[in-house]
A and B are shown apart, each in its own frame.
Chain A
Amino acid sequence: MKTSIYAIIGVFIASLFGGIGALYLKKGSDNIKLNFWKLIKNYDLIKGILCYGFSTLLFIPSLKFGELSVLYPITSFTYIWVILFSLIFLNERMNKYKWLGLILIVIGVILIGIGS
């Protein structure tokens, strides 16, 4: 089975929403309390969960149009988005290991993309 470029783009956008979801979950987790009303009023938490939901909703139909062994590794781009968003929005610090890791993931995904 050949993997459609649309499936690759679909998974790529799904990974982007996974990254946005992680950012919101992190923000929401700062004031998490096990109290039902406080949980449903924790809008960051809810936005995070919605982003994850949307990401899954995009990921699964994309799998119909390609190989799992090509499309699943592309989800590792979520790690890249998470690092970039933590850098930009949470003022987290980078170090050389993170940069190197980020580059290796990009190379890995490109290799799998070329191979397909």
Chain B
Amino acid sequence: MKITKRMAIFIIILSTFLNTFAEVSYKLGANKLELNVISIITNYSLFLGLTAYGVSACLLIIALRGGKLSVLYPIFATGYVWVTLTSIYFFHEVLSLYKIFGVLFIILGISLINYNNQTNHNNLSNKVLQ
């Protein structure tokens, strides 16, 4: 299947939100985490998180077929913003200037790392998905 640039961007946005969903589910699961088998296998948030994370990773690989890393990775990196915002909303964590600037630096850093990268990783993901 040919993935157009526009589709790649749509898929990476979907992947980013699923990834945020996964992290929040992990946190919910971790809060209920206890060292006993029954409580772990009935910890639905944990499995929901793992599933969402898996789907998100697959979508990321698919998106990389159709777009450049320099475009797609900065979009994916906005996940740090969404995770921070949902943590404040759901877990009543505190927003501080440190967190705001920390997240901004991280996103800028991830974007810069991929700035010069023109590969669209067609070879790799075609091999995986052929």
Query: A and B bound?
Result: yes
B-contacting residues of A (Cβ < 8 Å)?
1, 29, 32, 34, 56, 59-64, 67-70, 72-73, 76, 79, 83, 95, 97-98, 100-112, 114-116
26 residue pairs A–B, Cβ–Cβ below 8 Å:
A29-B124, A29-B127, A61-B30, A62-B30, A63-B30, A63-B31, A64-B30, A67-B91, A69-B83, A69-B87, A69-B95, A70-B99, A73-B84, A79-B109, A101-B109, A101-B115, A104-B106, A104-B108, A104-B112, A108-B105, A108-B106, A111-B102, A112-B102, A115-B96, A115-B97, A116-B98
The residues of A that contact B41 with a CB separation of less than 8 Å are: none
Check if B113 sits within 8 Å of A60, measured CB to CB.
Answer: no
- Complex CA gap A66/B31 in Å reads 10
Check if A32 sits within 8 Å of B109, measured CB to CB.
Answer: no
Question: Which of A59, A68, A83, A110 has the most chain B CB atoms closer than 10 A to its own CB?
Answer: A68
The residues of B that contact A76 with a CB separation of less than 8 Å are: 80, 106, 109-110
- Complex CA gap A109/B80 in Å reads 12
- Complex CA gap A29/B123 in Å reads 10
Check if B84 sits within 8 Å of A111, measured CB to CB.
Answer: no
Q: Taking CB as reference atom, which chain A residue is nearest B129?
A: A34
Check if A102 sits within 8 Å of B105, measured CB to CB.
Answer: no
- Complex CA gap A102/B108 in Å reads 10
- Complex CA gap A112/B111 in Å reads 19
> In angstroms, how far is the closest chain A Cβ from the Cβ of B52?
13
- Chain B interface size, as a band, is 35 or more
Q: Which of B1-46 contact A (CB under 8 A)?
A: 23-24, 26-27, 29-31, 33, 46
Give the 4 A-B CB pairs with smallest separation, nearest first. Answer: A115-B98, A108-B105, A104-B109, A101-B112
Question: Which of A70, A95, A100 has the most chain B CB atoms closer than 10 A to its own CB?
Answer: A70
- Complex CA gap A70/B23 in Å reads 12
Check if B105 sits within 8 Å of A68, measured CB to CB.
Answer: no
> In angstroms, how far is the closest chain B Cβ from the Cβ of A75?
9
